[in-house]
Amino acid sequence: MTNRLCEWFITHMAPSASRRQLSTADERKKAVLGTAVSTFADRGYFGTTTTDVAHRAGISQAYVYRLFPDKEALFAAVVEHCFTLIRESLSDGAAAAGGSSPEKVLDAMGDAYARLVADRDLLLLQLHAQCAAASEAAIREVVRAGYARLVEYVRGVSGAAEVDIQRFFATGMLCHLVVAIDAHQVDAPWARALTDGLRHY
């Protein structure tokens, strides 16, 4: 049987097997992304290798490269995964809002986000992504695109004014700082000035 005929057979005569293989690959890819979140959160883009990710995922480095062509592509996929989780948390918050006013919707989304970043891995990954974006053009584009989607989503769902949307995201950035340095656990005037009114879980 020629190679071309083999390919035809796989495509047309055995679609269920192909779907099973695709499903398995997709599931493994998601599992690697989940593991990569915590791996990159530990040491960032520059301090983490694909070997580190493979080791923590319990797979070979060669298999990581079957799923992602290089570390940059892997990290970009991890950052996109992170933005997807953020978008889902904001959606959950908006659905749980106790009213339809922009203020109530933003408040509910902010609460949902505060709960999400109680997972320090997700918070640290965002900080590392922002650091990498400062010098790596490909990562910068992924971070820009992620924020573009989030800003447009928040604008559309909340109907809030531009200044309130800016304040919403600025508060999120402040939450990153506060949680990263555990400022909410410091009993000092400077820490209280930064943390007053912020929610932590």
d(CA 52, CA 180): 23
In a domain, 16, yes or no: no
* Mean pLDDT value of segment 86-93: 97
**pTM assigned to the model:** 0.83
pLDDT band with cut points at 50, 70 and 90 for residue 76: very high
23, part of any domain = no
**Domain that includes residue 95, residue range:** 71-195
Q: Is residue 85 part of a domain?
A: yes
Spatial neighbors of 116 by CB under 8 A, at least 6 apart, are: 85, 86, 89, 122
- CATH of residue 175: 1.10.357
* Residue 172 counted as domain residue: yes
Side-chain-side CA neighbours of 4 within 13 Å: the count stands at 0
Mean pLDDT to the nearest integer, 97-123: 94
- Measured in degrees and rounded to the nearest 5, phi and psi for residue 187 equal -95, 85
Strands annotated E in the chain: none
The per-residue pLDDT for 7 is 44
What is the mean predicted confidence (pLDDT) over 94-103? Answer: 95
126 and 68 in contact (C-beta within 8 Å)?
no
Say how far apart CA 129 and CA 125 lie, in whole Å: 6
Give the total number of structural domains in the chain: 1
Q: How far is CA 140 from CA 92, 143, 169, 178, in A?
A: 27, 5, 18, 24
User: Between residues 120 and 147, which one has the greater pLDDT?
Assistant: 147
Residues 121, 40 contacting (CB under 8 angstroms): no
Give the per-residue pLDDT at 10: 37
Categorize the per-residue pLDDT at 119 as very low, low, confident or very high, splitting at 50, 70 and 90. confident
- Domain annotation covers residue 37: no
Kindly state whether residue 135 falls inside one of the protein's structural domains.
yes
Examine residue 28 and state whether it is found in any structural domain, yes or no: no
pLDDT at 196 over 80: yes
In a domain, 114, yes or no: yes
pLDDT at 101 over 80: yes
pLDDT band of residue 31 (cuts 50, 70, 90) is confident
Find the mean pLDDT for residues 14-28: 56
Structural contact between residues 147 and 165, judged by C-beta atoms closer than 8 angstroms = no
Identify the band that residue 18 occupies on the pLDDT scale cut at 50, 70 and 90. Answer: very low
DSSP symbol at 160: -
> What are the tokens at 12?
């047309």
Express each pLDDT in 135-161 by its tens digit: 999 999 999 999 999 999 999 999 999
